[in-house]
Amino acid sequence: MSSHELAAMRVAQNRERHEARVEALQTRESDKALDCVGDGSFRIAKQTISLVREITPLVTPDLRAKVHYTGWLAPVPSDSAAPLIDDALIKEATKARPFDSSRGRQPFSFVVGHRQVIGGWDAAVAAMKVGERARILIAPEHGYGERGAGGAIPPDSWLLFDVEVLSCEADPEPAFSTPSLLALIPIIGILIYYLGFRDDIWEDMGGKAEL
């Protein structure tokens, strides 16, 4: 089995396990938000805005997701338990200037589940489908916590994001990845044998092997 086939098999197995985990997550009836933490706390909540097709695949950990997003500070007290993603919260948050947005510039990409983004993003985007657009509400401990982020995000801030998943795919395998290098070992061994230990080869080339 080739390295590409092995990689595809691992992705398929990972996706199957991940789909089962997402399927078990709880949905809150009042605002149709999904609890992405998985403990019923809704400290990371995802509310679908639109979905291109129901049959599109879930974003899978270890693959690279490409997204567009806009982020606002959410008007939620830091000690709030589990606020609803309702019209009042959305209106209050989005009337302010976003603290960041990829819209109007290049999409943002990251490898899901590799801590390249805040924890709330890793959990929520992994519960989205390719082509889905959703609101994501993130509690401080899954965002920037007690430290905040520069002057844009104060400490202990709840965050509201509008995220759209454009694609999700594996990074191209490097030309000299570990599997491809391992495949060269038998070939190198044969070359060493013939060029290093076969005097007749060197004699045909006009000289003797010096060991």
The CB density around residue 76, as the number of other CB atoms within 10 Å, is: 20
Where does residue 132 rank: exposed (0-12), middle (13-18), buried (19+ CB within 10 A)? buried
Query: According to the model, what pLDDT value does residue 210 have?
Result: 44
Decide: 59 and 165 in contact? Cβ < 8 Å.
yes
Residue 198: band (very low, low, confident or very high) from pLDDT cuts 50, 70, 90: low
Q: Rounded CA gap, 29 and 204, in Å?
A: 82
* Mean pLDDT for the stretch of residues 181-206: 59
Please provide residue 195's backbone torsions phi and psi, each rounded to the nearest 5 degrees: -90, -25
> In this predicted model, what pLDDT tens digit does every residue of 35-86 receive, in sequence order?
999 999 999 999 999 988 766 788 989 999 999 999 999 999 888 888 999 9
The DSSP line for 30-62 is TTTEEESSSSS--SEEEEEEEES-TTSPBP-TT
pLDDT tens, position by position, 86-142: 999 999 999 999 999 999 999 999 999 999 999 999 999 999 999 999 999 999 999
Q: Which pLDDT does position 174 carry in this prediction?
A: 57
Q: Rounded to 5 degrees, what are φ and ψ at 191?
A: -65, -40
Structure confidence by residue, pLDDT tens digits, 125-140: 999 999 999 999 999 9
Query: How many residues appear in the chain?
Result: 211
Across all residues in the chain, what is the average pLDDT?
85
Q: What is the pLDDT of residue 182?
A: 59
Which is more confident, 209 or 93?
93
Give the pLDDT confidence score for residue 173 in this predicted structure: 62
Count other C-beta atoms under 10 Å from residue 99's C-beta: 16
Which residue ranges make up each domain of the chain?
3-169, 174-211
Model pLDDT, residue 58: 87
Confidence of residue 211 (pLDDT cuts 50, 70, 90): very low
Fold of 3-169: Chitinase A; domain 3 (3.10.50)
